[in-house]
Structure 1
Amino acid sequence: MKPLTLSDLHTRQAWPLNQKIDHTVGAIEAFVNYCKEHGRAPYASFSGGLNSTVLLDLARRYVDPNMPGVFCSTGNEYPEIVRFVRHTKNVTIIRPTMTPREVMARYGFPLVSKEQAHAMRDIQTSKSEKLRNYRLYGDGIRTCGILARRWRYLITEPYMTSEKCYELLKKRPFAKYNRSTQSLPMVGTMAGESKRREMTYINRGGCNIFSDDPTKTHSAPLSIWTNTDCWDYIHRFDVPYCSIYDVPGIDRTGCVFCGFGAHLGGGRFRVLYSLHPKLYQMAMNYTSNGYTLRYALRRMGVQLPDEQPELF
């Protein structure tokens, strides 16, 4: 089969909604059939966000009306998200073994991006001098995973920086659930959300990748969709969605404390402060080595909403 290219992805992203629905339903059906053949139970990973709402509706509308959803409650979702999830039928709620406060106290703050935080964690904690040198200087050939010069100040900061929150608060709970229930998830990620996801889609050869080892199987049926497609689908079929999306400034949800991308404007924290000031203060007071997330965000140059001067 001819390998996929970036041009192929862009062509598919330009398809009309009806064609994307057909394509996605086919991907879901193929995933469900794979699960049946391997004695696994399929489900939709349900965050309560826009993408996963569309994915769960597609699966129930066209493939299996009883398709279950699974939501991981980390304790740092918008309250609106939690309420929406609780009012969605047939959704199992799982939880991590650590709280966000404990994760950041032990491993550090999620700052800049997942890739840069990972590089920073290796520099701060790795016992391998070779790995540390690569994260700092590269090897003369590759550039992936090198700490950018802009963020080198983090090396001497008194707090830790890490991407471990995702693994401990989301990835591990789902892995435990999958093992204990012999289940496999579909996820609502879209290739257009980042360059990394574009390349993942291309390298995997499409929405699904199947393996003789079910743990290596991956299904992302919405890969070729866009945010506009999701809204068009929701409006066309009058699909209920979380009320948080009706708040100006909200186009994506997620962990309310997350510092990934905060240097690009910090809009997440402005919205959180406006809607849920107590939750905002709780997040700002998370600590690493005795230093608060508030302190770390200030050092990044983020203008926090409760520290902005009043305009007269």
Structure 2
Amino acid sequence: MRANTMAISLLRERQAWPLEQKIDHTVGAIDAFLAYCREHDRNPYVSFSGGLNSTVLLHLARRVFGADLKGVFCSTGNEFPEIVRFVRQTPNVEIIHPALTPRQVIEQYGFPLVSKEQARAVRDIRTTASEKLRSYRLHGDGARRPGVLAARWRYLVDEPYMTSEKCCEILKKRPFRHYNTTTKSLAMVGTLAGESKLRQSQYIRRGGCNVFDADLRKVHSAPLSIWTGADCWEYIRRYAVPYCEIYDVEGIERTGCVFCGFGAQFNNGRFRVLYNRYPKLYCMAMNYTNNGYTLRHALRRMGVTLPDEQRELF
């Protein structure tokens, strides 16, 4: 049965809890998820990205429920090398792969720019056959505004290259869905509600960390949802949890695909670190193309100053 939508005030209250209370809440969410998996003959695992949040979730779940709980990592081919090394050094983690390479996804579907919500709006406006949906993405409906394309990004509708959020779907979500089906498995993910407005709204709509449904494809478990990034760091310090060394590099707060343009208008630290540490990988990513135009060109059009184009100031 699906959970009921909650008030945002309840989420705010939970996010203000001390870490010990959040740990207890998370342990309860994991326990309920594991019980659901046993009831429905499914194999539980942690979707392990090698990032900070999933590192905390995997450690906590194994600390309480046993070291045999599996982690599963989807290697897209566009992770920082430090992430791949850290994943390979972590015991009992299975590695899966997407059907397409990042270059193929970009060529076929477009660049991930601005944010998932705004990229989805651009794609809908440019490809939908529904005039109603197109109108909503451009103007809203008078009462609601979520998912409406911001005026700042309207130019993307007319660009010769495509903008799309589909890379996450194809490089990560599809491989995990295939894995779940073929191995009769269900995942816990390490996402936090406070990471974005989209994840906040999803948590509120779902009504909590877990959503259980007779349709197993709709089951969702994010036991760390009410945590903050500061909570994750406090947990890591408290329990001396090993984490990926890339987080000790200035400019890196979150990992993920090295070519990702989501949020680049606010912080291009990922590109700067990539350019300084792995210039060949940086050049490869900047030269991904859609309709003959490079990612470099698309980021420039967003107003992003790339690290190899910055002039030193004296």
Normalised to the residue count of structure 2, the TM-score between the two structures is: 0.96
Instruction: Decide which of 56, 60, 63 is 2:62's aligned counterpart.
Output: 60
State the secondary structure of the residue aligned to 1:71: strand
Q: Does 1:144 align with 2:139?
A: no
1:226 maps to which residue?
228
Q: Say which of 234, 244, 265 aligns to 1:242.
A: 244
Distance across 2 between alignment mates of 1:6 and 1:111: 28
TM superposition shift of 1:3:
6.1
In structure 1, the residue matched to 2:111 is: 109
Q: Note the aligned Cα RMSD (angstroms).
A: 1.4
Provide Cα deviations, 1:232-263, integer angstroms capped at 9, x if missing partner: 11111111100001111111111110011111
Q: 9, 12, 20: which one pairs with 2:11?
A: 9
What's 1:94 paired with? 96
| 1:107-186 pair list within 5 angstroms | 107-186=109-188
Which one of 278, 281, 306 corresponds to residue 279 of structure 1? Answer: 281
CA shift for structure 1 position 15? 1.6
Q: Which residue of 1 aligns with 2:192?
A: 190
Distance 1:278 1:3 in 2: 47
Deviation at 1:64, TM superposition (A): 2.4
The one-letter code sitting in structure 2 at the alignment partner of 1:305 is: P
Q: Distance in 2 between matches of 1:231 and 1:43?
A: 22
- Cα deviation, residue 11, structure 1: 1.7
| Partner SS for 2:95 | strand
Report how far residue 2 of structure 1 moved: 8.9
Q: Deviations over 1:267-309 (max 9, x none)?
A: 2211111111111101000000000000010111100000011
Unmatched segments (≥5 aa) in structure 2? none
The match for 1:46 is 48
Are the equivalent residues in 1 in contact too, given 2:4–2:206 (CA < 8 A)?
Answer: no
Given that residues 5 and 206 in structure 2 are in contact (C-alpha distance below 8 angstroms), is that contact kept between their aligned partners in structure 1? no
More deviation in 132-141 or 35-44? 132-141
Corresponding position of 1:264: 266
Partners of 1:185 and 1:215 lie apart in 2 by: 11
Query: Which runs of 4 or more aligned residues in structure 1 lie more than 4 Å from their structure 2 counterparts after TM superposition?
Result: none
Q: Counterpart of 1:44 in 2: which secondary structure? A: strand
Cα distance in 2 for partners of 1:212, 1:156 equals 43
Residues 94-130 of structure 1 show CA distances to partners (whole Å, capped at 9, x for unaligned) of 0000011001111110011101111111122222233
SS in 2 for 1:264: coil
Structure 1 residues not aligned, in runs of 5+: none
Q: Provide, for residues 20-50 of structure 1, a one-character-per-residue CA deviation record: whole Å limited to 9, x for no partner.
A: 1111111101100100000100000000000
Give the number of aligned pairs.
312
For residues 56-108 of structure 1, give each alpha carbon's deviation from its aligned partner in whole angstroms, at most 9, with x where no partner exists: 00110001220000000000000000000001111010000001100111111
Q: What is the CA-CA distance between 1:224 and the residue it aligns to?
A: 1.1
Distance 1:128 1:108 in 2: 21
Identify which of 11, 22, 25 aligns with 1:20: 22
Equivalent residue, structure 2, for 1:73: 75
Structure 2 counterpart of 1:117, one-letter code: A
Q: Distance in 2 between matches of 1:267 and 1:2?
A: 38
Q: Which residue of 2 aligns with 1:36?
A: 38
For 2:8 and 2:124, the matched residues in 1 are separated by: 31
Q: What is the distance in 2 between the residues matched to 1:3 and 1:156?
A: 37
